[in-house]
Amino acid sequence: MADLPRKAAARTARLAALPLGHAGRTMVGFGKRLGGAPAEAVMSEIQQRTAEQLFRTLGELKGGAMKFGQALSVLESALPEEMAAPYREQLTKLQDSAPPMPTQTVRDTLATDLGADWKERLVWLDGAPTAAASIGQVHEGRWHDGRRVAVKVQYPNAGEALMADLRTLSRAARAIGPLIPGVDMKPLIEEVQARAAEELDYELEAAAQREFAAIFRDDPEIVVPDVVAVGPRVLVTEWLDSAGSLATIIADGTQAERDHYGEIFARFLFSGPARTGLLHADPHPGNFRVIPEEDGSPGRMGVLDYGAVARLPQRGLPEPMGRLITLCAAGDGEGLIRVLREEGFLKDRIRIDPQLLMDYLSPFVDPTLVERFRFSREWMREQFQRINNPKDPAYTVSIKLNLPPSYVLIHRTWIGGIGVLSQLEAEAPFRALLEEYLPGFTPPAAATAP
């Protein structure tokens, strides 16, 4: 595939056509119903074709369209099963693949960013990409010292396309919304917009990856490839051999594999901030690679892509988060409201029912109430539908709470992480992980109201 489509009008037209295509298929489906086709069969066909169009378009456009699709993909487990089933295959494809750019374009970018003598350092480069993401693609290569390396090259005009797509998606949020009921598109798109500039900065990404690689160098469960070289649009890191991403475990993994890698995934998300002062904030399954033992049994997990990272000045997750979860688990609604006001989640003049508030926060608290919690699509859907259903009393809480800017990326990562654990259907010692890595958290059995 050549450059990212350059003309904003052409890209806008493709995105704008998504809801029109859905409407057209719905009308065709209505005609089939008049002809006697079963309602369930017609709806399944409409959803399958809509899913294919939506995620094929997002993937082919790359840029912000694909970045939005990746952010959406971690919430797949929250969709109703009748909606999720047709989308699941397309979401998984989006997480791990996209059409490639020409080899000559890759070589031109390498020459510009690494210098005219780049071939003396990168002595071999596979012309075909091994992976592709929203703003760049990865090629396997060999460094002059013999190391196998992963060479990530940013798509030409990626920044321009990224921001143009996100502006278009923001304007089209209301129209795209009906394609995936129950997901509030506008906040999701706004959050992707807020992180876009950082993800275009490969030198900033390299600095974060170096920090993670140094801290996790001898970790028995986590592998972080070292950075070898970096330029404005090129990032060269050590190669990571794996048997696939978490998406393969989601699709075909045994229960033992789901539990094993799910626990490592959760431990990484919580331990990373405490150990590095950084939060890996892009928890879609394609960034997490499974590395089995030689006998094929579950082994370590590799972690890639450090473009979206929250820098935590307190070197760890905020202490009030732990206190809030502890108070909610203990049933102390008044104490919960007090801390929410202190932290800026609840404005002074806003009044809220303590019980409704605790009901609303249950997705954050339920996994802490038992020694080991079994995440599932069914549990995730129940939580998601309840707090997003205008007819449910807990829904009123969402319009009264305010999310301070310092918590936005943390919140998105937490929800995304829970989404991935639910896709895995993994059982994990969530309570023990929070006790070890979340400041201010006290296990419910030992918690006392202040």
How many CB atoms are located within 10 Å of the residue 450 CB?
12
Residues 6 or more apart whose Cβ sits within 8 Å of residue 64: 134, 161, 162, 163, 164, 165, 166, 168, 169, 192, 193, 196
Q: What pLDDT does 271 receive?
A: 96
CA distance 300 to 209: 18
Please report which confidence band the pLDDT of residue 292 belongs to, taking 50, 70 and 90 as the band edges: very high
Lowest mean pLDDT among 256-260, 367-371, 374-378, 411-415: 411-415
Q: State the pLDDT confidence band at 268, using cuts at 50, 70 and 90.
A: very high
Q: Answer with the residue of higher pLDDT: 164 or 50.
A: 164
Is the model's pLDDT at 31 over the cut of 60?
Answer: no
Whether 323 contacts 438, CB under 8 Å: no
Beta strands in 224-277 (DSSP E): 227-230, 234-238
* Per-residue model confidence (pLDDT) at position 383: 82
The pLDDT confidence band at residue 199, using thresholds 50, 70 and 90, is: confident
Average pLDDT over residues 60-88: 54
The CA distance from 188 to 197, in Å, is: 16
Q: Please, what sign has the CA dihedral across residues 163, 168, 169, 174?
A: positive
How much helix, strand and coil, in percent to the nearest 5, is found in the chain? 60, 10, 30
Query: Minimum mean pLDDT among 79-83, 313-317, 321-325, 340-344: which range?
Result: 79-83
Rounded mean pLDDT, 370-397: 82
Beta-carbon contacts of residue 91 (< 8 Å; ≥ 6 apart) = 51, 55, 69, 72, 73, 76
Please name the residue that has the structure tokens 């802490």: 368
How much is the pLDDT for 348?
85
Q: Which residues of 102-136 are buried (b: 16+ CB within 10 A; e: fewer)?
A: eeeebeebbeebbeeebeebbeebeeebebbbbbb
Whether 382 shows a pLDDT value over 90: the answer reads: no
pLDDT in tens, 113-160: 999 999 999 999 998 888 776 678 899 999 999 999 999 999 887 777
* 366, pLDDT greater than 80: yes
Q: Is the pLDDT of residue 395 over 80?
A: no
pLDDT at res. 71? 56
Average pLDDT of span 358-384: 90
pLDDT over 80 (residue 370)? yes
pLDDT at 24: 38
Contact 196, 166 (CB under 8 A): yes
State the alpha helices, DSSP H only, in 277-316.
none
Is pLDDT at 350 greater than 60 in this prediction?
yes
pTM, 2 dp: 0.77
Tokens at 167, concatenated: 């502006």
Predicted pLDDT at 212: 98
Arithmetic mean of pLDDT, 107-114: 95
Choice between 94 and 134, residue whose per-residue pLDDT is larger: 134
DSSP secondary structure string for all residues of 142-192: EETTS-EEEEEEEPTTHHHHHHHHHHHHHHTHHHHGGGSTT--HHHHHHHH
Least confident range of 10-19, 264-273, 439-448: 10-19
Higher pLDDT, residue 228 or 4: 228
pLDDT band per the 50, 70, 90 thresholds, residue 5: very low
Whether the pLDDT of residue 29 is over 50: the answer is no
